[in-house]
Amino acid sequence: MGNKVLITGADGFIGSHLTEALVRAGHQVKAFVLYNSFNSWGWLDHCAADVRGHFEVFAGDIRDPHGVRTAMTDCDAVLHLAALIAIPYSYHSPDTYVDTNVKGTLNVLQAARALDVVKVIHTSTSEVYGTARTVPITEDHPLQGQSPYSASKIGADQIALSFYLSFGTPVTVLRPFNTYGPRQSARAVIPTIITQIANGQRRLQLGALRPTRDFNYVADTVAGFLAALDTDRGTGEVINLGSNFEISIGDTVRAIAEVMGADIKIHTDEQRLRPDKSEVERLWADNTKAGDLLGWQPRYAGLDGFRRGLAETVDWFTDPANLARYKADQYNL
């Protein structure tokens, strides 16, 4: 379904991997990237050789409704990933999160409705659940906006679902848990750990170690989007994409150090700590619904799968050309 696909946020971490997968699956792909004066396509400037030149690029801004509608014209489906996602920066500049995440999503939905797009896949986040009240977390878990970022994503999710309920817009909400892998920003914990170790640091600067996360390797997340694109069974639904495996940040640090053969110590950097009531202490996905509706199962599940995903991630980050793109000696807000 949806031979010509618009993907917003195509220049980002997950978006660039998804763009590659869509091209390889035979779709006509229009990659919506954030306009900038450098004519940078983000990670698409470094996409795989077999994909390069096989997708169209549209430079614009998700906050501009005219640009969004222009980009979506003649597309059968839209995969909406464009968002501001850094939690610490949302404490600093919450207004821009509302503009980008809520209003940007509204722009996508308005254009999709006007143009009769046959499928809209909206990207949520596990952060909307806040600290788990029950585990594993099903899609019926209460939503808790514990940061301006998560509050903006709750708003975006609800706008998306309201268009399905009000206008019949064919919306699916995918809710990935803690995606990691090659190309991820150093604002996330796994790249922060890897890049510090790879640059020779053995006294790592980190935030809280006690919270748990359900890490999902990027290839699994991408497979979830492709599965949702290929079926109508997810229409009107919210669907978790998670590994159904919980691990603490502290144990994650130790697993990475083991993969990299490094003897490390950890220093708590106060600026990396969230406010106490804002920290999400526990995330652990129930992925039953994704299996039932999409036929999706993570290939990097459990501790063994997590270690395999970490090894592939470490291999990419420790390539000198890739590592040079990161500033491991600075805190990435």
Q: Smallest Cα–Cα separation from 146: which of 278, 282, 281?
A: 278
Alpha-carbon torsion, ordered 37, 42, 45, 46, to 10 deg? 150
Report yes or no: 101 and 61 within 8 Å, Cβ to Cβ. no
> Over the stretch 86-108, which tens digit does the pLDDT of each residue have?
999 999 999 999 999 999 999 99
Q: What is the mean pLDDT of residues 243-259?
A: 98
Q: Does residue 100 sit in the same domain as residue 135?
A: yes
> Over the stretch 204-242, which tens digit does the pLDDT of each residue have?
999 999 999 999 999 999 999 999 999 999 999 999 999
| Cis? peptide before 136, omega within 30° of 0 | yes
Q: Does residue 26 sit in the same domain as residue 116?
A: yes
Q: Does residue 89 sit in the same domain as residue 199?
A: no
> Over the stretch 263-281, which tens digit does the pLDDT of each residue have?
999 999 999 999 999 999 9
In a domain, 226, yes or no: yes
Q: Smallest Cα–Cα separation from 99: which of 73, 64, 53?
A: 64
Domain span at 256: 189-213+246-280+301-323
Q: Does residue 132 sit in the same domain as residue 261?
A: no
Average pLDDT score over the chain: 97
In a domain, 328, yes or no: no
Compute the distance between CA of residue 142 and CA of residue 323 in angstroms, rounded to an integer: 39
Q: Does residue 232 sit in the same domain as residue 83?
A: yes
| Domains of the chain: total | 2
**Alpha-helical segments (H) within the chain:** 13-24, 65-72, 87-92, 94-97, 104-115, 148-167, 189-198, 218-229, 249-260, 288-294, 302-317, 320-323
CATH of the domain at 86: 3.40.50.720
In a domain, 287, yes or no: no
